[in-house]
Amino acid sequence: MKQTFAVSIGGAAGQGVATPGDVFAKILTRRGLHVNAYNAYQSIIRGGHTFLTIRTGPEKVTNMGDRIDLLIPLNQDTMNRHLGLLGSGAAVIYNADTIQPGIPADGVQLCPLPVSQLADITRNKVAQNTLAMGAGLNLMGVGFQPLEEVLTEQFKKKGEAVVNENVAVARAGYEFAAAHFKPFLNPLPMTDNRYAVLSGNVALAMGGVAAGVKFYCAYPMSPSTGVLHWMAAHARKAGVIVRQVEDEIGVINMAIGAAHAGCRAMCATSGGGFALMSEGLGMSAMIETPVVVINCQRAGPSTGVPTKTEQGDLWQMLGAAFGDYPRVIAAPTDIADCFKIIPEIFNIADRFQCPGLVLCDLLLSEGRLSVDPKDLDFNVPIDRGELITAAGGPPSGPDRDGIYKRYLITESGVSPRAIPGVPGHVHTAATDEHDENGVLLSDEYTNPAKRRAMMEKRMRKVAGIEAAVKPPELIGPRNADVTLIGWGSTKGVIQEACEILHEQGISANQLPVRWLVPLKGDAILDILKGCQHTIIVENNYSGQFARYLRSETSYVPDGYIRKYDGEPFMPHHIAEAVKEQLAGKTNLSVPRHEIMV
Amino acid sequence: MATTAEVSRPLTLADLKGKVDPDWCPGCGDFGVLAALQKALVELQIPQHNVVTISGIGCSSNLPGYINTYGMHTLHGRTLAVATGVKLANHDLTVVVTGGDGDGFGIGGNHFIHTMRRNVDLLYIVMDNQIYGLTTGQTSPTSQLGMKTKSMPFGNIEAPLNPIALALAAGATFVARGFSGEQKHLTELIKEGIQHKGFSFLDAFSPCVTYNHDNTYQWFRPRVKKLEDEPAYDSANWYAAMEKAQLWGEEIPIGKFFERTDIPSLHGAEPVLAQGGPLAHRSLRLPAEMSRGFAEELL
Ligand SMILES: Cc1ncc(C[n+]2csc(CCOP(=O)(O)OP(=O)(O)O)c2C)c(N)n1
Ligand code: SF4
Ligand SMILES: [Mg+2]
C-alpha cells in the first residue's frame, strides 16, 4: 500500500478553512510530495460546515482516501461530526478554550491548544488556525522553516509587522506541540520533485490557452466559475478576450460568433447553463462552426446541490439539441487530464467542424492535485483542419463565380471553411438546411434529395471522428477476478479500490472511459469479452453510463456501484461493494457516505 | 486584400445581389429594407467580403441569403450575441444585424438590452411589422392594443413595447426609426448607422402585407414625420429623444432620434484589442516564457 497522510480541516464557512489548506498544500508540494485536496462545502458564504481534506504522499495521490490522520476542527460542530471517524494513530488538534473533544476511539491522540495563553486572540482572530498549523506540522515531522517561508509570502503584502506576528503565533503552536504532544510514527518523507498544485478548473482554463483559445465567455455557475476566474485574471497577458455574458444562451451564441469569425472559442458552465446552451450546439453543428463547451457537473436536477458532485449529465450531453449531428464528448479522468483534453478536443472539433463537449464534474473542477510542471507544457499539437484565413489559397475565386462552396459535398464530409473577411469566399452560413452554397432549402425550395445529401455529408464526419480517438485500455492485471468500468473523474478512486482489493486477495482491474462520443464500442466489447466479472461504477442514480453502453453495444455488466448523495466515492466504498457483489449478495451497491458534510 | 474584380471597379448593386431572389410575399416591406441596405453599402463602398450580415429567424431574417456579403442565418432571437462574438473576434468587419420584431424584442429581448448597454459596434436593423410573419400571423411584442391575430383572436390585451424608448433607456448610442416606404431616408439612416462607432439601433417599419392589416403602408404614410424636417430637433439631446419616442398615433416620428459619440465601443474599450490586429488573425501560440510562467505560478 502506498504511504499517504491526510489532514482534514473543518469549520463554518468564513472561519478561514482555506488559508491553512493553501499553506499545507504549498509546504507539502515544496517537500516534493504529491497532494490531492477535496473540499466539501455548501452554497453559503458564511456559516454551515466546510470540510477540507488534503492527502499527501511521495507517490501520486489520486483521491481523498479513506483515512484521516490529522483532524483540525475549527469549531465544536466539526469536532462532533468527525472525531468518530478517527482511528488508532490519528490525532486531533483543537482550541481547548472553545471546543470540547468528546470521546475518541482507542489510540487517537487529543491535542488541546490553550489558544488564549499562546496568542493574543483579541488582535489575531485566526490565531487558532495559525497555532494549529504550527502544531500540526510539528507532529508531521516537518521543520518550522517551511511554514515561516510560506507565512512570510502569504502576509508580505500586509507588511512586516503582520508577517512577524503570524510567524510568532505559528512558532508558539509548533513549540507547544513539541513539548506536549507525540509526533506521528512516520514523519513525512521528502523528495527532490517539485509539483504545481492546481484545480481542474484552472487546468481546463490553461488547457484552453494552450490550445490557442482567444475568446472565452461565461455566465457564473458553480462549479465551473473557476475557469472564468482564471481566464479573466490572465486574459490580458494571454491575449484572450473574456466576457461575462447575460445568460448561457448568450454565452454559447457569442462563442459561436467568435469561432465563426476564426477564433478558437470556449465556454464552461454546469448542467443548468448547459441546458440553456443546447439549441446553440445544434447551430454549431449545422453551420459547421466548431466550439468547445465544458460542462462541470453538479448534483441535479434543477438547481440541485450546487456545491456537490455528480455524474448525472451524461444523457443531457448525449441528447443535447434536436436532430442528428456529429459531436464529440470527452470526460477528463483526472485534473492533469483536464489540461490535456482541451487541446485534443479542439483539434477534433476544428478538423470536423462540429461542437466539442467536455464532461467534467465538481470533484475535478474544484478538487486540487499536484502535477509535474512538465505535464503543463503549452507546446501542444494544434490542428485547425481545413481553414481558409486568407485569400489566394485554393479553393478561391471571385465572389460571384460560385467557385467556393462553403458546404461542398466531400467524401470526408468536411468542407473547407473560409472565415468572414477573406475575399473570394463570400457565403452565408445558415441554420436552416442549405445546399452546398449555403442557400436555404427551407419551405418552398425544400428538396428531399439535397436535404438527404447534406445530412449524409455532415454525418460522414462521424467516421473521421471515430478514427481520431483512441479506444480505452484496461489498467491492471489481465484475467482479474473483477473488472471495474468507470468514466471520467472516478479513475483515481477506482484505481485505489483495485489496490485495496488486491491486498485482500482479490485481483481487480479497471477500464476507464475518457471518450464518450465516439465510444469505441467494438473495442470495449473486445476487452470486456475476456473479463470474468464486470461492474460499472458511476456517480449517479440511474446508471447513465451503463444504459449508454448497453444502448451502443448491448453489453450488460454483472453489477453496478452507484452513488448519488453529492459526495464522491471513497476507495473503501468501492472495495466493499465489490466484495458484497462477488459474494453474490447483490448486483447493485449504493455505498453510504459516512462523513457528514 | 481584395480580389482583382473588386479593386478594378467600384462595388455596384449588381455585386450585392444574393444567390437567390427573396421569397417574401409581393409587397412585403422587407424588400424596401433590403434595397436600402444594398444602396447604403454601395454608397459607402465597403468591400463585400468585409461585411457580415447576421440575422435570426423569421421572414425578415432570411435577408442574409439575399445579399452577397458574408452572412449568418443564426437562431431565433440570438443574432446579437452571435454578432458580438463576430465583432470582437474581428473588429475590422462591418457587422450588420437584421431581424424581426419577434426575433429582437420577444425571444431575443435579453440580448437586445445587453448588447446596447455594451455599445457593440454594429448596426441592428429590426424589420418591424408588428406581427410574427413566418409563423403565419401571431401577436408580437410591438402589436398594438386590440389588434386581432391568430393567437389573440379577440384582440391584444397587452400593451406594446416601445423599442425607441427601450433603446434609449438601455444606453444605445445611436437610435433611429425608418420606414420601408421611405427609401432615400432609410438608406441615409442605414449609412449613418453603419458609420456610427458603437451600437446603432434602427427600428424600420416594414409592413407585413399578408398578416398585418392594421399597420399598412396606407396607415403609416400620413402618420410618419421626419425628424430631419424639424430644424430645432437636437439628436444629441437624450431627453428630447425620449420625449419624441412617446409619440404614437396621428404623428409618428421617423429619423435619427439620438446619437452620442463620446462612449467607446466594446472592442474599443477591450484592453486585449488595444494593440495587435483582429483577434481572429493572431497566433494561437503564446511565447514559451509566458506559458512557463503560468505553470510556475502554481508551484
Ligand atoms: C426557438 C424558436 N422558437 C420558435 C421559432 C418559430 N419562429 C420562427 S420565426 C418566428 C417569429 C418571427 O417573427 P419576427 O421575428 O417578427 O419575424 P417576421 O417573420 O415577422 O419577419 C417564430 C416564432 C423558432 N424558429 N425558434
Ligand atoms: S408574411 Fe408578411 S413579413 Fe412575411 S414575407 Fe409575407 S408580407 Fe413579408
Ligand atoms: Mg415581425
Please tell me the distance between residue A323's alpha carbon and the centre of ligand 3 in angstroms.
Answer: 26
- pLDDT value for A126: 87
DSSP A510-577: EEEE-EEES--HHHHHHHHHT-SSEEEEESSSS-HHHHHHHHHH----SEEEE--SSSPP-HHHHHHH
User: Hey, what amino acid is at B99?
Assistant: G
CB-based contacts of A543, cutoff 8 Å, min separation 6: A536, A560, A562
Is B179 a pocket residue for ligand 2 (Cβ < 6 Å)? Answer: no
| For ligand 1, atom 1: residue with the closest CA | B76
- Which B residues 27-66 touch A at CB under 8 Å? 47-50, 52-54, 57, 62, 64-65
Q: Which of B2, B93, B286 sits opposite A209 (nearest CB)?
A: B286
> Per-residue b/e over B241-275, b at no fewer than 16 CB within 10 Å?
bbebbeeeeeebbbbbbbbbeeeebbbeebebbee
DSSP secondary structure letter of residue B272: G
Angle at which helices A200-211 and A225-238 pack, to 10 degrees? 40
At B222-270, the pLDDT tens digits run 999 999 999 999 999 999 999 999 999 999 999 999 999 999 999 999 9
Q: Which of B48, B65, B70 sits opposite A440 (nearest CB)?
A: B65
CA distances from A268 to A44, B114, B189 (A): 22, 20, 39
For cell 462477488, what's the residue? A582
Nearest CA in chain A to B48: A426
| CATH 3.40.920.10 given to domain A5-180 | yes
- pLDDT value for A395: 44
Beta bridge partners of A218: A244
Residue among B19, B50, B68, B93 with most chain A CBs within 10 A, to mutate:
B19
CB-based contacts of A575, cutoff 8 Å, min separation 6: A497, A500, A501, A504
State which fold the A200-375 domain adopts. Rossmann fold (3.40.50)
Whether B90 contacts chain A with CB within 8 A: yes
The upper half-sphere exposure of residue A321, i.e. CA atoms within 13 Å in the direction of its Cβ, equals: 23
The arrangement of secondary structure in B4-298, i.e. its CATH architecture, is 3-Layer(aba) Sandwich (3.40)
In the sheet where A428-430 sits, what is the strand order?
A428-430, B70-73, B51-55, B94-100, B122-128, B199-205, B174-179, B252-259, B224-226
- pLDDT value for A48: 86
> How sure is the predictor about B4, in pLDDT bands with cuts at 50, 70 and 90?
very low
Ranges for all domains in chain A classified under CATH 3.40.50.920: 482-589
Please tell me the distance between residue A399's alpha carbon and the centre of ligand 2 in angstroms.
Answer: 29
Pocket test for ligand 1, best of B30, B33, B57 (most atoms within 8 A of CB): B57
Ranges for all domains in chain A classified under CATH 3.40.920.10: 5-180
**How far apart are alpha carbons A412 and A409 in whole angstroms?**
9
Cβ-contact B125, B98 below 8 angstroms: yes
Is B72 a pocket residue for ligand 2 (Cβ < 6 Å)? Answer: no
At B170-229, the pLDDT tens digits run 999 999 999 999 999 999 999 999 999 999 999 999 999 999 999 999 999 999 999 999
The arrangement of secondary structure in A482-589, i.e. its CATH architecture, is 3-Layer(aba) Sandwich (3.40)
pLDDT value at B5 more than 50:
no
Q: Which ligand is nearest to the CA of B63?
A: 1
Interstrand relation of A368-371 and A196-199 (parallel, antiparallel or unpaired) = antiparallel
Residue ranges of E strands in A200-354: 213-218, 241-244, 264-269, 291-297, 328-330
Is B128 a pocket residue for ligand 2 (Cβ < 6 Å)? Answer: no
- pLDDT value for A471: 98
**How far apart are alpha carbons B280 and B50 in whole angstroms?**
14
User: Hey, what amino acid is at A200?
Assistant: G
What nine digits make up the cell of A86? 478517527
pLDDT < 70 positions in chain A: 1, 392-402, 443-446
Judged on CB neighbours under 10 Å (0-12, 13-18, 19+), A7 is buried
- What's A462-498 look like in SS3? HHHHHHHCCCCCCECCCCCCEEEEEEHHHHHHHHHHH
- pLDDT value for A402: 55
CA distances from B295 to A8, A371, B155 (A): 27, 10, 64
- pLDDT value for A400: 43
Average pLDDT of span B127-133: 98
Say yes or no for a CB contact (<8 Å) between A443 and B62.
Answer: no
Asked casually if ipTM beats, i.e. exceeds, 0.85, the reply is yes
Mean pLDDT across chain B, nearest whole number?
Answer: 96
**How far apart are alpha carbons B93 and B87 in whole angstroms?**
7
Say yes or no for a CB contact (<8 Å) between B72 and A214.
Answer: no
The model scores a pTM over 0.95: yes
Say yes or no for a CB contact (<8 Å) between A241 and B288.
Answer: no
**How far apart are alpha carbons A580 and A447 in whole angstroms?**
59
Ranges for all domains in chain A classified under CATH 3.40.50.970: 200-375
- pLDDT value for A13: 86
What nine digits make up the cell of A271? 448542467
CB-based contacts of A48, cutoff 8 Å, min separation 6: A12, A13, A41, A42
Pocket of ligand 1 from Cβ distances under 6 Å = B 57-60, 76, 99-103, 127, 129, 131-135, 140
Please report, for chain B, the start and end positions of each structural domain, with discontinuous segments joined by +.
4-298
Q: Which helix (H) or strand (E) holds B195?
A: helix B183-195
Is B205 a pocket residue for ligand 2 (Cβ < 6 Å)? Answer: no
CA distances from A522 to A471, A509, A578 (A): 9, 19, 26
- pLDDT value for A396: 40
Phi, psi of A417 (to 5 degrees): -110, 115
**How far apart are alpha carbons A248 and A258 in whole angstroms?**
15
**How far apart are alpha carbons A508 and A487 in whole angstroms?**
16
Our measurement of the distance from residue A125's CA atom to the centroid of its chain's CA atoms, rounded to an integer in Å, reads: 34
Residue among B90, B284, B296, B297 with most chain A CBs within 10 A, to mutate:
B284
Say yes or no for a CB contact (<8 Å) between B71 and A195.
Answer: no
- pLDDT value for A125: 81
Say yes or no for a CB contact (<8 Å) between A255 and B296.
Answer: no
Angle at which helices A145-155 and A127-139 pack, to 10 degrees? 150
Please tell me the distance between residue B59's alpha carbon and the centre of ligand 2 in angstroms.
Answer: 6
